[in-house]
Amino acid sequence: MSFKQDQAISFYSLPTVQQRLEQVRASISRAAYRARRAPEDIGLLGASKSQPVASIRALAALGVCDFGENFVQETLDKQAELLDLALTWHFIGRVQSNKTRSIAQHFDWVHSVDRLHIAQRLSAQRPAGRPPIDICLQVNIQNEPSKAGLSLEALPAVAHAATELKGVRLRGLMAIPKPSSDPQQQRRPFAQLRAARDQLNAQGLTLDTLSMGMSADIEAAILEGATWVRIGTALFGPRPSRDTGAIASTDGV
Ligand SMILES: *Cc1c(COP(=O)(O)O)cnc(C)c1O
């Protein structure tokens, strides 16, 4: 085979956004079927950090309206180019105190609230006239030193206090477990997060959300009750490196 043909074949065999979305939707349906859950009860959130606006547009045209971002400025830049679309923006990155005002103004959800102080700031800084911002508390379910999130021990007091805040609505819990290639191992931390949510509800809270599951563990998360899955690479393809300036490029759609 000549070099030219080789290149052409590998180019045309790259999956499109549409093909990736079909595969992700098929995984969601398969897992929902196994779990005897309605596929509509599992929200698909495109984890679009460092992905180009054109990919978001392509997904929006195919019916994906929820996008999760990790960096505030990157999100504002993207939102400015997507004003014609009715999208729901989720903050899923580490929340710094000095970014809460901007997050409260420009996002609909925050999945990664990891201390009461952040919930209090989001509540106080939510613009008047807008509904409370939906939040999840991030739990560091495996007590990893490098990872954000509340410990299971600290969770109940923070959850009860956050419920009292007027400018936020506590919807549920979020976690990012350690990667594992074993489907049974993958399920364990998700089951623990669900148990923590159920326990809070038994204490009188009304949490309807479990934000858990990424490209590599989507099925395990759905089997354990995920209501939002946050999918990056399986939907967009590999992330362009943040260092190369590729964020603003429109390649790779
Ligand atoms: C990047 C990211 C994801 C998506 O990860 P993939 O493995 O690419 O699906 C999900 N959640 C959070 C918090 C992320 O930062």
pTM: 0.91
Q: How far is the CA of 219 from the centre of ligand 1 (A)?
A: 15
Give me the pLDDT at residue 138, please. Answer: 98
The answer to whether residue 188 scores a pLDDT higher than 70 is yes
Output the pLDDT for position 40: 97
Q: To 5 degrees, how large is the angle CA 136–CA 141–CA 143?
A: 125
Per-residue model confidence as pLDDT tens digits over 167-179: 999 999 999 999 9
Residue 167 to residue 75: CA distance in whole angstroms: 22
> What pLDDT, on a 0 to 100 scale, did the predictor assign at position 245?
41
CB 95 near ligand 1, within 6 Å: no
- Helix locations, the chain, DSSP H: 3-12, 17-35, 53-61, 72-81, 100-106, 116-125, 155-163, 183-202, 218-223, 233-236
Question: Does the C-beta of 231 come closer than 6 Å to ligand 1?
Answer: yes
Mutation to probe ligand 1, out of 230, 235, 247 (largest number of atoms < 8 A from CB):
230
Superfamily classification of domain 16-248: Alanine racemase (3.20.20.10)
Confidence label for 2 from pLDDT (cuts 50, 70 and 90): very low
Least confident of 79-83, 107-111, 144-148, 238-242: 238-242
Can you give the residue ranges of every domain in the chain? 16-248
Please tell me if the CB atom of residue 125 comes closer than 6 angstroms to any atom of ligand 1. Answer: no
User: Residue 5 pLDDT > 90, yes or no?
Assistant: no
Is residue 194 over pLDDT 50?
yes
User: Whose alpha carbon is nearest atom 11 of ligand 1?
Assistant: 230
Whole-angstrom Cα distance, residue 42 to residue 20?
17
Confidence class for position 9, pLDDT limits 50, 70, 90: very low
pLDDT reading at 124 higher than 80? yes
Q: Residue 13's pLDDT is what?
A: 67
